Amino acid sequence: MMICNKVSGGAVVSSLIFAAGCGTPDEQVMIPEKPNIIYILADDLGYGDLGFTGQEKFETPNIDRLFEDGMFFTDHYAGSTVSAPSRSSLMTGQHTGNTPIRGNIEIYPEGQHPLPDDQPGLARLLQEAGYATGAFGKWGLGFIGTTGDPNNQGFDIFYGYNCQRIAHRYYPPYIWHNEEQVFLEGNDWTNKEVYAQDVIQEKTLAFIEENKDNPFFLFVPSLIPHAELIVPDDTIWQRYRDKYPETPWINQREGAEYGPDLDPILYASVEKPRATYAAMVARLDMYVGQIMDKIEALGLEENTLIMFTSDNGPHQEGGNDPEFFNSRGDFRGYKRDLYEGGIRVPLAAFWPGVIAEGSTSNHVSAFWDMLPTFSELAGAEIPGKIDGISFVPALLGNNEAQQQHEYLYWEFHERNGRQALRKGDWKAVRYNVFQGDNPTELYDLRTDPSESNDIAKQHPAIVQRMEELMIEARTDSEIFDFQATTVSGQ
């Protein structure tokens, strides 16, 4: 299998040809020069939270179809193990040793530390390549009017939650349409009338309709299934409300419940946390189905790449019970861990007529690869200072042409500092970085994907090389000081 690309200056400038041998007309599949790109990002969805990946306690038929009729990337990784740095990695094409936002820094009364405007991000690159760009959901990378404002980062339209703290609540008084507040009638932090994610979904579908005749990039960073655990009382809820044994989860902190003293950052109590979580994921599945139906109704299937993944592993907040659902699959760890359960996420790529139906790729990839991948498909110039590698060849099934990463790197600035690095099948993990001389753990993911057998003592030379790469991989940040000056006593 070959891919014939006509390129100029590193950017695709004409259609790609996908074929067994470029030049045989009846075997060629022409890929549009500027395909539509839809990237759906679940929030805190675990590797095992889909029917396709083994979930047996609730159903996700629409998301499963993306995997079943498209390509399943088995070894794909989030940018980080929490929201903001994971999204920063996605937007900048850089891992958390280099990306500007490496942790959650809150700005009050609303917003987070902003992305700078000194480097071209994903949306701006596609915008400059002639794409209509829209983001619908949760942002968390800079408040209105800052350099991190989604409009200043290349999105023509943003609709949703700018602040990830406010996004802890599904019934807020308002959300944002670019720089304007959109008030949700009946919501006032006490009364709950409008489920914000439903309104965001309506605008998402409208964006597709309005741009059906133009190339578009649609970023859908859903809130679901991030806590709080809450859903409307509708047919989806009725399907799950009495399905599981339950123990109510009570948040006794002041300001947790809806009322005049509500604190948005807290989570409301939930009577049936398991049923609520299942209904939330089912609602996300419904949204995905609606997007797919809209694309099909407009006749855009063969001109539209749809990707689906999650921003990190499953959460344990707000009464959620990931153990009950086996949300992390066979992996170790949860959100905020740098073991596989915290950062490995399922990725589906669906593109009828272009991506082989029912295919699987073991290509090792990460969020920072999305910028060069989408840029190549769009004919946009790919910046030089990125950590990502385009995996267009892998998408098209041409593994021989696919460039590989030397390594993938993560650092996490909470919980006393954490680092991880994957090189081939080797995975190094280091916790309590800020305490100084702590041992590096080593795992062979080929034989031990659950990271249950630390073999660092048996392979000191490999450990030393992994530690050297942990130092080499990162650059210092004045804002996000990691304090990682030594590893294992070096």
Distance between CA 243 and CA 480 in Å, rounded?
44
Asked if residue 487 belongs to a domain, the reply is no
Residue 337 near residue 313 (C-beta atoms within 8 A): yes
Query: For residue 36, how far is the Cα from the chain centroid?
Result: 19
CA 189, CA 279: separation in Å to the nearest integer? 22
DSSP H helices in 27-78: 61-68
Beta bridge partners, 374, equal none
| Boundary (domain end) residue, out of 362, 379, 401 | 401
pTM: 0.94
Question: Do residue 316 and residue 253 come from a single domain?
Answer: yes
Closest residue by Cα to residue 456 from 435, 445, 441, 467: 441
Residue 478 lies in a domain: no
Q: Are residues 182 and 276 in the same domain?
A: yes
Average pLDDT over residues 461-467: 98
Q: Does residue 208 have a pLDDT over 50? A: yes
C-beta separation of 309 from 288 below 8 A: no
Could you tell me the pLDDT band of residue 23, with boundaries at 50, 70 and 90?
very low
d(CA 273, CA 281): 12
Contact (CB, 8 A) for 321 and 232: no
- Summarised one tens digit per residue, pLDDT across range 233-279 is 999 999 999 999 999 999 999 999 999 999 999 999 999 999 999 99
Percent of the chain at pLDDT > 90 equals 88
Residue 99 maps to a domain: yes
Q: Is the pLDDT of residue 15 over 90?
A: no
Average pLDDT over residues 151-157: 98
Which residues, in sequence order, are bridge partners of residue 441?
429
71 and 135 co-located in one domain:
yes
pLDDT for the residue numbered 330: 96
pLDDT in the model for residue 435: 85
Calpha distance 300→322 (Å, rounded): 37
Cα separation of 117 and 150, whole Å?
11
Over residues 113-123, the mean pLDDT reads 94
Instruction: Say yes or no: 16 and 141 in one domain.
Output: no
Residues 384 and 309 in one domain: yes
How far, in Å, CA of 45 to CA of 224, rounded? 8
Residue 246 inside a domain? The answer is yes
| Within-domain flag for 479 | no
* CA distance readout (Å), 381 to 1, 377, 390: 26, 10, 12
- Residue 444 resides in a domain: yes
Q: Which of 401, 418, 452 is the last residue of a domain?
A: 401
pLDDT, one tens digit per residue, over 26-66 is 345 578 889 999 999 999 999 999 999 999 999 999 999 99
Among 476, 483, 463, 473, residue whose Cα is nearest residue 408: 473
Report the CATH number that the domain containing residue 448 is assigned in CATH: 3.30.1120.10
What confidence category does residue 325 fall into, taking pLDDT thresholds of 50, 70 and 90? very high
- Residue 230 is part of a domain; what is its CATH number? 3.40.720.10
> For position 28, what pLDDT does the model report?
54
Q: Which phi and psi (to 5°) does residue 361 adopt?
A: -125, 130
DSSP at 181: E
Claim to verify: residue 426 and residue 362 sit in the same structural domain: no
* Average pLDDT estimate for 142-170: 98
- Token digits for 272? 């049936």
Residue 17 and residue 146 in one domain: no
Q: Which of 37, 29, 40 is nearest to 348 (CA)?
A: 40
| Secondary structure percentages of the chain, helix, strand, coil, to 5 | 25, 20, 55
- Residue range(s) defining the domain that contains residue 162: 34-401
Pairing mode, if any, of strands 76-77 and 365-366? parallel
Residue 437 has pLDDT above 80, yes or no: no
Structural domain includes residue 486: no
Q: How many domains does the chain have?
A: 3
Q: What pLDDT sits at residue 1? A: 29
Ramachandran region of residue 154, left (φ > 0), alpha (ψ -120 to 50) or beta? left
Residue 196's CB is within 10 A of a number of other CB atoms, namely: 23
Same domain for 171 and 110: yes
Neighbours of 229 (CB within 10 A): 26
- pLDDT for the residue numbered 33: 87
Within 13 Å of residue 384, how many CA atoms lie on the same side as its CB?
A: 1
Return all residues near 178 (Cβ < 8 A) that are at least 6 apart: 151, 157, 158, 159
| Mean local confidence (pLDDT), 225-239 | 98
Judge whether 481 lies within some domain. Answer: no
295 token code pair: 């694309």
Regarding whether 367 and 244 lie in a shared domain, the answer is yes
Q: Are residues 233 and 99 in the same domain?
A: yes
Q: Do 354 and 415 lie in a common domain? A: no
Has residue 331 got a pLDDT over 70? yes
The answer to whether residue 384 scores a pLDDT higher than 90 is no
Whole-number Å distance between alpha carbons of 40 and 293: 15
Considering the domain architecture, whether residues 157 and 295 belong to the same structural domain is answered as yes
